[in-house]
Amino acid sequence: MNEIIVPIDLTEEEKTVLAYLSIRQFMLIVPAGVFSFMVLLLFNIPFISGWAEFFVRLFFFFLINTTTVLLAFVPLETRDQYLSEYVVTKYKYLTSKKVYRS
């Protein structure tokens, strides 16, 4: 029998949400997107009114969504991690108790 061996990339995430997003990407993007949309439409910023308030809210909308999309989709090839995993790893390292030996 002639068998064909197909290489499988185990490092790639399985796209389970609508065949475009993994669960990790979905859990990063959707809550932040809903929150930023609510900020854009409902919240008022004190001491600012009119068009200036709209542009400040629009700035926060783009800032939140750009950050979450970068965390969800940017891979760091040198560390073999996504940006979100790197941020979590870096945070755990910085907050962990360190033992210094002399």
| pLDDT band at residue 9 using 50, 70 and 90 as cut-offs | low
Rounded mean pLDDT, 10-27: 77
Cα–Cα distances (Å) from 96 to 17, 21, 82, 100, in that order, read: 34, 32, 21, 13
Question: What predicted TM-score, i.e. pTM, was given to this entire model?
Answer: 0.72
Distance between start and end Cα atoms, the chain:
64
**What percentage of the chain carries pLDDT values higher than 70?**
94
Q: What radius of gyration do the chain's Cα atoms show?
A: 20
Locate the domains of the chain by residue range: 23-95
63-77 tens-digit pLDDT = 999 999 999 999 998
